[in-house]
Structure 1
Amino acid sequence: MKRLILTTALTMGIAFPALAVEIAPGDKLAANQSYTFWLLDAIKTADPHKNSDVEGSDIIRQLFEGLLTSDAKGAPVPGVATSFDISDDKLTYIFHLRPEAKWSNGDPVTAGDFVYSWRRLANPETASEYAWFMELMNVENASAVVKGEKKPEDLGVQAIDDHTLEVKLTTPTPYFPKMVMHGSTYPVNQKVIEAEGDDWTQPGKLVGNGAYVLTSHDLGVQISMDKNPNYWDADNVVMEHLKGLTVNDNNVALTRYKAGELDRVQIPAGQYPAQKKEFPEQAISIPYSCSYAYLFNLSEKGPEALKDVRVRKALSYAMQRDVIVDKILQGGQKPSYNWSHWAIEGFQMPEIDYASWSQAERLEKAKALLAEAGYGPDKPLKLTLQYNTDDNHKKIAVAAQQFFKQLGVQVELNNVEWKVHTDRLQSQDFDMARYAWCADYNEASTFLDYFRSTGMNYGKFNNAEFDKLLDESKASEDPNVQYTAAEKILAEEMPLIPIYQYAKVDMISDAIKGLPTENVMNDWLGKDLYRIEK
């Protein structure tokens, strides 16, 4: 076995030093160490194995900690594990857990906790939307366990002793260490879950191993967390309190930010230039590894019209991405003609034909395709576009409705709340739906694996050649060869309308220090933050 070096702290025989917050020279700490951040929607769950939302992940990252975590630039650094070894065939990982890691109730965190948790994630009885992630990690027997063909005990993970965890893979996976940074792989406390059942995530009952504990949660209003005194590095955690405030109206949220009620908030569409001019030190726009699209429902429950690739291409070609980015959003986002985000580490943007066409050319080809498919004035195409409540989503949907109208396509807009939206996506109860995918780890496969026939894939796209390419990429010396080919299949089959690739466009209080601005994943940790006197 050889030890993979991530940082000096991960080399053989060197103890990992405390990850102390680095206070910048000249910064004077405020007496009140609290951070209040904006949430657009209610947090559906604080269960790491049942969450599928970005905002839920932000909360879970504070309450729990995985084997590895990320530094300010998103690189893997020790979490519960201080180091790991890899076998020569790259199929076995041995993680060495820090003995000082504890649950918030004071119990030790052990390798057995990870074994229980990974089995729970893969177990069909858990009904986790992220069970497939264990398959993507290529953990031995994961697919059979997820399908119910084997028992969770057959999953390729075992505790050698309390502080040594062994994971067996079916194929070498170079980005595996990045995957164990994801919230679905975090440990949960078996005793608490068995004692409390579905209520185990409630304040006063939730036991985590992260830097914070859950103190209150008023669903759709606020969620509060306090510093966990039993966290292994608690002595170096400066920020005492975290609070998320749910404000469905982004403009109202910005007003509350300016009133001092929030320390970070998304800048509403179109307002970044003005905010940057007025508050140059607070308004930011940085790459953010998420892609915004409209999904087509290609399942049996979807409209018959959308099963015709000519219709799907016509609708995609009609989307005026430059208008969305330059006129509506105005925050540094980029027009998108593919799925994977341009800033993902190592990703090589493929050449996609319609990306180089003028919008006039796209519209001309779109009209011809729609006519070929049999739609026109005598037989207009009628569809419904569903989106969740947000002013930005509404502006884009209204614009899209007009773009489609130029084709003679009649699109009805259907605005629903987030929970309804996600429930309908999961049950394929939509025609077209607003969707965004944010990377689970910093590698292009996190985007492309979504559209596998076995992926989350709410629109139920199914292409054997696409699946084969992604299977091949796992053992490829240069997986970008397969990624490029897979992206071209998406462009040819068009199971989605790519619209834009995100930038993180926020107002951040100049009193808050430590939020990452060089991490394309934009994963933040309260334990890295501090507030200064102003």
Structure 2
Amino acid sequence: MSLLLYFVDFHHIIKPVKSYEYFRRLVKEVLCGGYSMRKNGFMFLVIGAMTALILSVAIGCGSSEKADTDAAPAAAPAAAPAAAPAPATKPAPAAKTTNVFGREMPSDAAPMADQYLKVNYEKEGESLEFPVSVYNSAAGGIQSGFSLALLSTDLSTVPGGATSWSSSDDMKTWTFNIDPDLTWSDGVPLTAHDYVYTWQYYADPEHAYDFTWYFGMLEVENYGAIEAGEKALDTIGVTATDDKTLVFQLDTPAPYVPGFMMYGSPLAKHAAEKHGQYYSNDPATTLSSTPFILKEWVPNQHAEFEANVNYTGKIKPFIENYKAVYGERKFDAYLAGEVDTISGPFTPADQEYLENDAKLMKERGLSPGDFRTHYLFFDNQSAPFNDVRVRQAFAKAIDRDAIINNIVGESAGEPRYGVLIPGFPDAAGPDKLKQYQGLDVAAAQKLLADAGFANGSGFPKLELALRQETELFQATAAAVAQQLKENLGVDVTINNMDRKTYMGHLNGHNLQFAMVSYGFDYVDASNFMGVFKTDGRHNWNNKEFEDLRIEAGAMALSDERSAKMHKLQEILSEDVGSVFFWSQVQNQLHKPYLKGTWLDTNDAGWSGLQFPDWNPGFGAQNIYEVYVGENVKEHSRSAY
């Protein structure tokens, strides 16, 4: 019989047994106690017919080796084999933590007591709710309801208050299906009727909404007539066919409607009818259908939002508390650990401090923000700005590079000659537009002279109106005034108005010369073109532009539509609907303990916080992906 014999050395490897006789002696030593398994760590293994062999072999356990022919003494009881070591006990997995919303926390998250976010706001206002006031919002304007659609951090449109939507073939009828799970914090279901009520409130002339021009751009049936006081509120082309179905009827086709609905968070109809539209300002009457609800608002101090424990929606955050802290010096608040995150633009001094601090630079994020462009506009219907030569002279007299290099900073802004920033869909190339608005002092002086104001002689003194701007924007305005004086001989003073007064004058077309900025409200070039529609936000009326704007806006997305959007930008810059002079690159600072996928580089290559920062009701969903890491204990952070 052929046998294959092995023994196992647990300290080394499996080895072949040298011979049968060697194996026999080895077995005898093991069984009779002459071989220490504990000491040598050996075990034996017999493969094949070995079991039968062992049973047929008599092994003696005498004091000395005897010949195989000797009679074997009675075998002593075999020593019990050594017990195998007990398997190591694996530590029980750490219990997973879920927050009050039922969302499982990441493994590197800090304890729940640390899961709060503190942000800064610099301007106080009259209302916390977006539908009540946009330009005079309070505490940063935190919405208590979801807009119909939100944005991903890649700026694509995703469901918000609506789970889905569809359009008619002509794109003039749009249907939104309201999330059936959403309720207000008092248990009343959120319905399509809340959105209808809110849209009627937008258009109500008694409301005199400061953002009505935006919703008017969509050309909803009868919106303009209602706003003008010519039709009743209930004639608006926004209806609820049932509690969860919202329908928009438009006068003109629009392929971009879902993106447009990034704005438009609802009021709770039953609360507004009972307590008035300011019900959200008071914790006693406020309601919310988002994960956060107002706990306390102390104007010019802070607004505190706690977890809405009655939240029923699908989008759930990690953090449980959110606090907006008032302060005009956000940069100092960040350095002191009083807030966790801030977004620029920063003052020139703060920007310089940031760029010279290696530690802070590691905490910096960069984003185009809302692709905001700063521009100068005119009363185009009155002299002297009803003359295109005057507008063109102003456009060519401004040294944008000097403003960026000496005031804004190269890492915080870029010169601009048109309204759209490269990277935004259908933005025209800057070189194409620079020919119309680029610096050319000689050409500017000739244009002004041809208009009858050689060297500024006879030109009226101007007041440049600002919208309660910060130090940085006041400095850019001062630079514009200085350049107009030096290059054209035009005298300009600056009036930094409060926001409410400014917006009243803007919407009434009562500003002769002013500075303002605009960032996207939905991700389509038609958004920016709509700002310059006839009788819109500004009174620059150009028939060629308006006809092409309507035509392009109604087209499905295509190369042909893109070409028309490029042409619109050329008309706008050449005819100087406004003087576009710089755009922001938003510098941000985020404490190292802020974690989450919101920090991931998006499809456009930006790694910072995406627009509009931390709002739970509209825009990019940053607030739903941020959490506080366990490394928070390594940093100085003020208590909540």
TM-score w.r.t. structure 2 length?
0.72
Q: Does 1:364 align with 2:442?
A: yes
Q: Which residue number in structure 1 is paired with residue 334 of structure 2? A: 257
Gaps of at least 5 residues in structure 2 are: 1-100, 603-608, 617-622, 633-640
Change (3 A) 1:314 1:509: same
Q: Does 1:243 align with 2:323?
A: yes
Q: Which residue number in structure 1 is paired with residue 155 of structure 2? A: 74
Q: Does 1:313 align with 2:410?
A: no
8 A contact 2:295–2:306 mirrored in 1: yes
SS at match of 2:113: coil
Within the candidate set 462, 465, 481, 1:386 is matched to 465
**Taking every aligned residue pair, what percent have the same amino acid on both sides?**
26
Change (3 A) 1:57 1:261: closer
Within the candidate set 368, 374, 380, 2:452 is matched to 374
Q: Does 1:119 align with 2:200?
A: yes
Q: Which residue number in structure 2 is paired with residue 207 of structure 1? A: 287
SS at match of 1:66: coil
Gaps of at least 5 residues in structure 1 are: 1-18
8 A contact 1:512–1:532 mirrored in 2: yes
Change (3 A) 1:166 1:57: farther
Quick one: distance in 2 between partners of 1:108 and 1:335? 49
Change (3 A) 1:162 1:315: same
State the shift of 1:313 in Å: 1.6
8 A contact 2:223–2:237 mirrored in 1: yes
8 A contact 2:121–2:325 mirrored in 1: yes
Q: Which residue number in structure 1 is paired with residue 362 of structure 2? A: 281
Change (3 A) 1:489 1:22: farther
Within the candidate set 300, 311, 321, 1:231 is matched to 311
Structure 1, 229-238 or 162-171: larger mean CA deviation: 229-238
Question: What pairs with 1:77-92 in structure 2 (closer than 5 Å)?
Answer: 77-92=158-173
8 A contact 1:439–1:447 mirrored in 2: yes
Within the candidate set 309, 316, 341, 2:421 is matched to 341
Structure 1, 291-300 or 502-511: larger mean CA deviation: 291-300
Q: Which residue number in structure 2 is paired with residue 221 of structure 1? A: 301
SS at match of 1:84: strand
Deviations 1:54-73 (A, max 9, x none): 97695334x22122222222
Question: What pairs with 1:127-276 in structure 2 (closer than 5 Å)?
Answer: 127-182=208-263, 185-204=264-283, 205-233=285-313, 236-248=316-328, 252-265=329-342, 266=344, 267-269=346-348, 271-272=350-351, 274-276=353-355
Deviations 1:189-233 (A, max 9, x none): 122112222542322223232221122333343322222222224
Deviations 1:241-269 (A, max 9, x none): 22223333xxx321121000122222323
State the shift of 1:322 in Å: 0.9
State the shift of 1:327 in Å: 2.4
Quick one: distance in 1 between partners of 2:502 and 2:110? 45
State the shift of 1:355 in Å: 4.2
State the shift of 1:377 in Å: 6.2
8 A contact 1:29–1:530 mirrored in 2: no
Q: Does 1:527 align with 2:624?
A: yes
Give the paired residue count: 503
State the shift of 1:345 in Å: 2.6
8 A contact 1:381–1:408 mirrored in 2: no
Change (3 A) 1:523 1:472: farther
Q: Does 1:512 align with 2:594?
A: yes
Structure 1, 28-37 or 332-341: larger mean CA deviation: 28-37
Quick one: distance in 1 between partners of 2:202 and 2:456? 51
Change (3 A) 1:353 1:186: closer
SS at match of 1:172: coil
Quick one: distance in 2 between partners of 1:451 and 1:338? 12
Q: Which residue number in structure 1 is paired with residue 121 of structure 2? A: 39
8 A contact 2:153–2:610 mirrored in 1: no
Q: CA RMSD in A?
A: 2.9
Quick one: distance in 1 between partners of 2:228 and 2:502? 26
Q: Which residue number in structure 1 is paired with residue 405 of structure 2? A: 326
**Higher Cα radius of gyration:** 2
Deviations 1:339-366 (A, max 9, x none): 123232343437545448874xx11111
Change (3 A) 1:447 1:357: closer
Q: Which residue number in structure 2 is paired with residue 15 of structure 1? A: none
Quick one: distance in 1 between partners of 2:138 and 2:422? 25
State the shift of 1:498 in Å: 0.8
Change (3 A) 1:80 1:222: same
Quick one: distance in 2 between partners of 1:531 and 1:438? 30
Quick one: distance in 1 between partners of 2:141 and 2:197? 22
Structure 1, 220-229 or 102-111: larger mean CA deviation: 220-229
Quick one: distance in 1 between partners of 2:456 and 2:578? 25
State the shift of 1:380 in Å: 5.2
Quick one: distance in 2 between partners of 1:77 and 1:39? 27
State the shift of 1:120 in Å: 2.4
State the shift of 1:152 in Å: 2.7
Q: Which residue number in structure 2 is paired with residue 16 of structure 1? A: none
Higher relative contact order (CA 8 A, sep 6+): 1
Change (3 A) 1:310 1:86: closer
SS at match of 2:251: coil
Quick one: distance in 2 between partners of 1:428 and 1:210? 37
Amino acid at match of 2:373: S
Deviations 1:170-200 (A, max 9, x none): 3432111101111xx2221122112222542
SS at match of 1:455: coil
Structure 1, 395-404 or 26-35: larger mean CA deviation: 26-35
Within the candidate set 396, 399, 402, 2:482 is matched to 402
8 A contact 1:216–1:225 mirrored in 2: yes
Quick one: distance in 2 between partners of 1:124 and 1:54? 18
Quick one: distance in 2 between partners of 1:446 and 1:508? 30
Amino acid at match of 2:374: Y
Change (3 A) 1:513 1:22: farther
Change (3 A) 1:144 1:382: closer
SS at match of 2:225: helix
Q: Which residue number in structure 1 is paired with residue 67 of structure 2? A: none
Quick one: distance in 1 between partners of 2:501 and 2:165? 42
Deviations 1:26-56 (A, max 9, x none): 4445632222222232234223323233976
Quick one: distance in 2 between partners of 1:54 and 1:27? 36
Q: Does 1:416 align with 2:497?
A: yes
Quick one: distance in 1 between partners of 2:587 and 2:250? 38
8 A contact 2:132–2:278 mirrored in 1: no
SS at match of 1:294: strand
Change (3 A) 1:353 1:95: closer
Change (3 A) 1:419 1:234: same
8 A contact 1:264–1:509 mirrored in 2: yes
Structure 1, 253-262 or 96-105: larger mean CA deviation: 96-105
TM-score w.r.t. structure 1 length?
0.85
SS at match of 1:292: strand
Within the candidate set 156, 174, 177, 1:96 is matched to 177
SS at match of 2:472: helix
